[in-house]
Structure formats: C-alpha cells, structure tokens
Structure 1
Amino acid sequence: MRSRSIAVIVVAAGRGERASISGNEPPKQYRPINGVPMLSRTIQAFLALPNISLVLPVIHADHAKRYDELHSDDPRLSGPVVGGTTRQASVLAGLQFLVNTPPDLVLIHDAARPFVEPAVIEAVIAALDVSDASLPAIAVTDTIKRSDGQRVLATEDRRTLFAAQTPQGFRFPAILSAHLRASAAPQQFTDDAEIAEWAGMHVSLTPGSHRNIKITHAEDFNRATNLVENTMQMETRVGTGFDVHAFENGESVWLGGIEIPHDRKLKGHSDADVALHALTDAIYGALGEGDIGSHFPPSDEQWRGAASSIFLQHAVAMIAARSGRIVNLDVTIVCEKPKIGPHVADMRARIAEICQISASRVAIKATTSEQLGFTGREEGIVAMASASIEIPRQD
C-alpha cells in the first residue's frame, strides 16, 4: 500500500508586531527563544517526523531576507511562498502552491506555536483516516460568559467548549476546494477548521496540549522561555558515533561539511563525509533513535550523492522537536592525508552553522595512526564523535 504524502503549511506571513516591546525587535516569527528563532523551532518540529513529505513556509513579502538567514538543508523544506493580507489569504496561497504536486493530506500550522509535540501532530494525521478534517483542542476549564461588552447575557456550558489549536489537518483536495469557495464569501473565517465546517466537511477533535501555546504578545516570550528552561526537568544524554570510508579516484574529499582538495575522494552512497556521519550517529545515539541507515537507507536512491549536512540537520531537528539543546560536539578524524589542521576552523564554523549553535560548542581534533593499518596505508579515513545534549526527562 502506497504511503500517504503529507505536506505542512507553516503560516508565518504576519508582521508580528503585537509581540513587540520597544518596536525595535524583529518580527515575532524571527525572534529567538533560547537562542533559536521561533520559526526555526516550528519548522524543525515537523521535519523531525519522517512521515512528513514537505514543509512549506508562507512568509510576509518584507521578511524574505530574514527568512534566508534561517539555515536548513533538509530537502523536504520548500522555499517560502509570499502570503496575503490576511491569514486566510496566506493559507490559500500555500494551498495553491501545492496544486502542481498535490499531497494526499495537508496540515496547516501557525508559526507562533513552536512547541507542538509529535504526539499532537500524529493524532491529527491519524484522525484523517476517518474524517475529512481534524484539529487538536483542549477543554475549556474557565467559566465562559457571553456579554454585550457591558453586562453578562449568558453563561456558556463549558462542557461543550474546546480551545482550538494547530496543526489542523485536511484531505488536500477537499480543503483546497473549500478555501477557494471561501475566498469569494463575504465573511472572514477565524481558522481553517471553520472553513471546513462551513463547507460541510466532517471535522474531528484530537487531543491538544497545554505546551502547544500560541505566542501572540510580548509577555508570551517570557512564558516560552520559562517553558524551555524552567518547567522541564532536563537530563544530559551522551552519544557516540564511529564511521569509516575508503578512498577512490577523485579530486577532493568532504569532511566536516567542507570540501578539501585531495588526489582522491571518499567512497560512499552520499557525499561520504565521514566526520558528519559519525557526528550524526552520535546525536541519534544520545536520543536513542538508531543510526543514519535507519533514517536514510543506502538502498534509497534519493540519497545518492546527498550532502551529509542533510543527515546532521535531521538529527538536530529531532533534538529541537523534543525541546532539547546541544551542549557540545566532539569529532576526532584519523588519517594520514589530507592534512586536517588547516581546515579545522572552517569545519567548526560549518558544523555550528548546520546545528545552529556557537562554534565554541564544536571541537575538531585530528591525528594519524602512525602509518599503521588501513589509515596508515592511506586507504581511507576514520572518524569518531561524541555528542552531549540536554532533553526533558520523560520517566
């Protein structure tokens, strides 16, 4: 049975001005939360799931330069689409972009919800087996009063009330048709699920999460910071990685994310960057998430010749999806040639860029095997790596 293709539209086309304190901050989508821009956190939450086929950001026309400063090599991340003057118009722009290669399912998510958890996303997807549309929601616990602005008119039955969250999931053809019809309607809709309801689609509720907060105002950034730093008991995890690649005829080698001129190249299904492979496996090990082969099988031709930065970025996205962070990365490269010392600074900078951390958290060491063994005979290169990370404790 063919697996379903799943696209995610991340709506980030607002100006983000309500979250400003002084008026000099960047738009809220690009403001950092514990050093990571909010939009990057949101995107990484979806890229950490292997069943997501495509992530499509919809951004404001004035924010193209800011978006370009967010770095990602994951091939599933599409270039951004420019949104409209309303959220509804921005979503429609994203849906119309997908028409040429339509997915089976589409999730629509607010960039301002950077802490969405895998379980919330997976529940929305699973509900689409039996429903046209689905959305995560949490029960309302406060007593809700209806008012004309001055006096209470009624008290609502909170047992029937739920606060809607995103991502909201849909079968693609149905929500595209509904949005096109809604674009000609006189009213504006508050979310995509309301459009689905208006179009007569069956909409299911799935479990939301109190962590899946929406960042709207300036004080919400303090709440987000506390959510990352203070409300979770963190634990340190350490993983190790080891990789070997043989030489073959060529003119350069890829090591630590940079290309180094040499009289041979490393043999492998991807670009054979032995240093990044070892480092990626170290992160997977710290997370308890297998190895590169389990996430990017060498039997899959789409990874032939692929840049190994894609693998490392996927591992880093998995850390972000679990609200974790990298403490430090350490790589040792064993070879006679090429000489590694002159390239260490560039390697550290490139790895730091891929992982979105300071270069001070990256160590690169090089040694020879004193002309012993296959490395001593200059038949290949060995890399060993360790990764120290912090993630929320779950047991």
Structure 2
Amino acid sequence: MNNVAIIVASGTGTRTGLDIPKQYNNFLSLPLFVHSFKFFYTSNLFSHIIVVANPEWHDFIREQLVNYNNYTIIIGGKTRSQSVYNGLEAAKILSPDNVYIHDAARPFIDSDVINSMQDAISNGADGAIPYVEIADALWQIDDDNQLLSPVNKTKRIRAQTPQAFKYNKLLAAYSSCDFKSALDDAQIATQNGMIIKAIKGTSFSDKLTYKEDFKRMERTLSPKILPRTGIGFDVHRFCDGDFVTLCGVKIPHTMGLEGHSDADVAWHALTDALLGAMALGDIGKVFPPSDNKWKGAASSIFLEFAKDEVKKHGAEIANVDITIICEAPKVGKYREALQKSTAAVLGIPIDRVGIKATTTERLGFTGRSEGIAAQAIASVVQYI
C-alpha cells in the first residue's frame, strides 16, 4: 500500500525550557525530529514523508535532510490539529492509501508496532494507534494540588504516535468538523465514525516534553547504541601524468596514479573503512576492477555507495580520518580542500573529517616515490 508519513514539527516546545523548540534540539547527536524521520525513510514502508514546520525552521530542516529525498516541508498551523490538516491537504497530490501521523518529539518508533498497525488497517480497521497501559495510580486534583478522588484506570490507556489511518477517511473527518481543540487525530477519527484499533506500544516511544525527559531517555537508550569502526588501506603506483586525485581533488604532480578508476587512493581506503565498519566486504567486491563499467570512474561514486549503505543499515557516520602516505606531492596545503570535498560527499560537518599526510622517511615503495598509500578509519553509530 502507498503509505505517507506526516511528521508534526511546528510546535514551540515551551515546556522543555530550552532556547529552541525541542524538536530541533540535539538528542543523541542529531536534532530530535531527525530520528523519527530516519525511521520512516529507512523502513521501506513509506513512499513519501511530509514535515510540517513553521517557516523560520524550514532552512534548518533542509540542512539536516540534505542527504535524503522523497520528502516535502510545508507550513504548520497555530494548533497541532491545523498542522495535521495542512499535512493531509499536502498529501492529496500523493494519493496515499494510508497516512501515519507522528509527533516529532517522539524520537523512536518500534517497527513491530508499525507492522501491527499496518495489519490492523489491512484487516478492516479504519485506523490504529499505539498505546501503553497506565501503571501508576491516577488521581484528580484541584487548583491547589490537593487530592480530590482516585480515577479508575481500568480500560484507560496512554495514546502514542504514529497514529495510522486510511487517508481518505481521515481527510473527510478533518474536513467535516471543528478540529481545533482535538487532543489527537484518533479523537477526530472516532468522533466521525471511524473504527480505530488500539495496538500495544512501547515506553521507548514516549514523548519528550520536559528537559529531564531528554536525559532520562538518553540514559535508557544508550545501551541500544552500537559503535562500529572500520579500517581501510589502499595503494596505487605512479604512472605517466601531471596530477594525482586525492579525496576528489586534482593535485598537480610530475606523475599520475595508475588505476582502473580515477585511482583516488584516499577515497578508496575510506570506502573500505566504511564498508568494513558495517561488515559489508570491500571495494573490490562491490566494484570489481574486472568490470569495465568502472573504468575511469570517479571515486565519489564508491564513497557515496558506502555512505548510503551505512544509512541503509540504520547507522550514522560519526567521523572519519585519512592518512596519506607519500614523499610527494606535498599534501599539507590542500588539506582543507580535501576535508571539504570528503565532508560534502559524506554529508557530515568538516570538523568530523581528519586529513593527515606523512612520509616513510624514504623507506619502502612510497619512500622510493613509486606510488602513494593511504589508510583510513571510520567510526559509525548504529541504533539497534
């Protein structure tokens, strides 16, 4: 089915006491909203993602999503319900079967819960929402915080997001009622006769509302972060030419580098490091030199492939470090250019890219100026 996700990210988040809306605050090294975006993007269940946000944050969102496609940013409303309605209207052009509406302040989504919600809709329900049971005692209090009476918690649940609905029915429900004061989308749906199934969720999908929620969730989820490291090494011999290509930058030299592709020894080593971090083999396995398709190819193709593989496996590149080993050419004055080009391909800040150069004190093949070697290390963070 054609599923579209709507991420509601237009709130002010004033209860957190942060300087910026909470959905854009860093959480586990990424802006909060990016975590749920990544889930929808990599799950293979969604054809498109709509991010609903206030206009002043649109540029920031684009910067964070520069390496992604199949998404749209639209303007939010003064209330959550108005923002959702804007998202539903924007989805018309996509003709979705179902729409999943999610609060940007909930960074983690459980794939089993999503599959159960999808099954519920496929089996006749008009929608489905995840929930958690209420474990604590419930009390009603007065304006002075005095206890009044206990509240029976039997058959009461805490609703979470994403909430999933048949698109046409939810759009019709929104279009036929005054939705401004609704608690959530399920309220609008049920008030308009839609049959909504409750699916047991998980506390990992709780909403981050207050500043202490960020710290609590970070402590809870830290064991689920898997750091991974890969090492790459490559060598290319010199040949006739007047430049060498290192990190995509052509550096003048009295010789060139011999290779099936553009012989970018630095990016070849880095590609191997990234593939190694994810246990995906090496560059020769994916791009065999026996295949003429890659003859003269730009090594950015290889590096972009490795970057995409990291992302497909639910991981993010933390930092990379490359050491170029040669007597000449002298790499030092090109260091910033090499950093910038590498950062641009990987889609990470330049301060996460290390570039170093060294010699072997005229020892070995590099010392005899027979070629250039490079070694690279890549650190990635995988959420499991």
Q: Please say whether Structure 1 and Structure 2 have the same fold, judged by a TM-score greater than 0.5.
A: yes
Please say if residues 249 and 341 of structure 2, whose CA atoms lie closer than 8 Å, have aligned partners that are also in contact. no
Match of 2:380 in 1: 389
Q: 1:46 aligns with which of 40, 44, 47?
A: 40
Task: Give secondary structure in 2 for the equivalent of 1:7.
Answer: strand
Please say if residues 7 and 53 of structure 1, whose CA atoms lie closer than 8 Å, have aligned partners that are also in contact. yes
Q: 1:74 aligns with which of 68, 74, 84?
A: 68
Shift, 1:63, TM fit:
2.2
Q: Per the alignment, do residues 314 and 120 of structure 1 end up closer, same or farther by CA in structure 2, a change over 3 Å counting?
A: farther
Match of 2:203 in 1: 210
How far apart are the structure 2 equivalents of 1:43 and 1:226?
22
Query: What does 1:309-388 align with in structure 2 at a 5 Å threshold?
Result: 311=305, 314-317=308-311, 321=314, 326=318, 328-330=319-321, 345-352=336-343, 354-356=346-348, 359-360=351-352, 362=354, 387-388=378-379
Q: More displaced, 346-355 or 83-92?
A: 346-355
How far apart are the structure 2 equivalents of 1:85 and 1:347?
45
How far apart are the structure 2 equivalents of 1:172 and 1:254?
51
Please say if residues 228 and 278 of structure 2, whose CA atoms lie closer than 8 Å, have aligned partners that are also in contact. yes
Match of 2:16 in 1: 19
How far apart are the structure 2 equivalents of 1:163 and 1:128?
20
Please say if residues 45 and 114 of structure 1, whose CA atoms lie closer than 8 Å, have aligned partners that are also in contact. no
Shift, 1:81, TM fit:
0.2
Match of 1:166 in 2: 161
Task: Give secondary structure in 2 for the equivalent of 1:18.
Answer: helix
Query: What does 1:4-15 align with in structure 2 at a 5 Å threshold?
Result: 4-15=1-12
Task: Give secondary structure in 2 for the equivalent of 1:128.
Answer: helix
Q: Per the alignment, do residues 190 and 254 of structure 1 end up closer, same or farther by CA in structure 2, a change over 3 Å counting?
A: farther
Shift, 1:57, TM fit:
0.7
Give the aligned residue type for 2:26. Answer: P
Task: Give secondary structure in 1 for the equivalent of 2:165.
Answer: strand
Q: 2:180 aligned with 1:175, yes or no?
A: no
Q: Per the alignment, do residues 283 and 172 of structure 1 end up closer, same or farther by CA in structure 2, a change over 3 Å counting?
A: farther
Shift, 1:115, TM fit:
2.2
How far apart are the structure 1 equivalents of 2:42 and 2:268?
18
How far apart are the structure 2 equivalents of 1:26 and 1:313?
30
Give the aligned residue type for 2:158. Answer: A
How far apart are the structure 2 equivalents of 1:162 and 1:121?
18
Q: 2:88 aligned with 1:91, yes or no?
A: no
Please say if residues 10 and 76 of structure 2, whose CA atoms lie closer than 8 Å, have aligned partners that are also in contact. yes
Q: 2:194 aligned with 1:201, yes or no?
A: yes
Q: Per the alignment, do residues 67 and 238 of structure 1 end up closer, same or farther by CA in structure 2, a change over 3 Å counting?
A: closer
Shift, 1:176, TM fit:
1.5
Match of 1:295 in 2: none
Query: What does 1:292-307 align with in structure 2 at a 5 Å threshold?
Result: none
Task: Give secondary structure in 2 for the equivalent of 1:116.
Answer: coil
Match of 2:148 in 1: 152
Please say if residues 249 and 337 of structure 2, whose CA atoms lie closer than 8 Å, have aligned partners that are also in contact. no
How far apart are the structure 2 equivalents of 1:63 and 1:254?
38
- Normalising by structure 1, we get a TM-score of 0.69
Deviations 1:321-353 (A, max 9, x none): 57x773x4356899xxx9988765344345446
How far apart are the structure 2 equivalents of 1:108 and 1:143?
29
Q: 2:114 aligned with 1:114, yes or no?
A: no
Q: 2:55 aligned with 1:61, yes or no?
A: yes
Gaps of 5+ in 1: 244-252, 293-304
Please say if residues 34 and 228 of structure 1, whose CA atoms lie closer than 8 Å, have aligned partners that are also in contact. no
How far apart are the structure 2 equivalents of 1:122 and 1:284?
29
Q: Per the alignment, do residues 9 and 308 of structure 1 end up closer, same or farther by CA in structure 2, a change over 3 Å counting?
A: farther
- Normalising by structure 2, we get a TM-score of 0.71
Give the aligned residue type for 1:168. Answer: Q
Please say if residues 82 and 93 of structure 1, whose CA atoms lie closer than 8 Å, have aligned partners that are also in contact. yes
Deviations 1:282-312 (A, max 9, x none): 55654467999xxxxxxxxxxxx99878756
Match of 2:28 in 1: 34
How far apart are the structure 1 equivalents of 2:380 and 2:187?
41
Shift, 1:112, TM fit:
0.4
Please say if residues 116 and 211 of structure 1, whose CA atoms lie closer than 8 Å, have aligned partners that are also in contact. yes
Gaps of 5+ in 2: 235-243, 284-297, 360-364
Please say if residues 74 and 313 of structure 1, whose CA atoms lie closer than 8 Å, have aligned partners that are also in contact. no
How far apart are the structure 2 equivalents of 1:274 and 1:171?
52
Root-mean-square deviation (Å): 4.7
Shift, 1:125, TM fit:
2.8
How far apart are the structure 1 equivalents of 2:121 and 2:375?
43
Task: Give secondary structure in 2 for the equivalent of 1:134.
Answer: strand
Deviations 1:168-203 (A, max 9, x none): 11122121111212xx42762111111111121121
How far apart are the structure 2 equivalents of 1:282 and 1:168?
39
Please say if residues 279 and 384 of structure 1, whose CA atoms lie closer than 8 Å, have aligned partners that are also in contact. yes
Deviations 1:251-309 (A, max 9, x none): xx9985x686999xx999xxxx99879867755654467999xxxxxxxxxxxx99878
**Percent identity over the alignment?**
30
Match of 1:222 in 2: 215
Q: Per the alignment, do residues 97 and 187 of structure 1 end up closer, same or farther by CA in structure 2, a change over 3 Å counting?
A: closer
Q: Per the alignment, do residues 82 and 254 of structure 1 end up closer, same or farther by CA in structure 2, a change over 3 Å counting?
A: farther
Give the aligned residue type for 2:82. Answer: A
Deviations 1:108-135 (A, max 9, x none): 1111011223333333333321222111
How far apart are the structure 2 equivalents of 1:213 and 1:71?
24
Shift, 1:52, TM fit:
2.2
Q: More displaced, 107-116 or 40-49?
A: 40-49
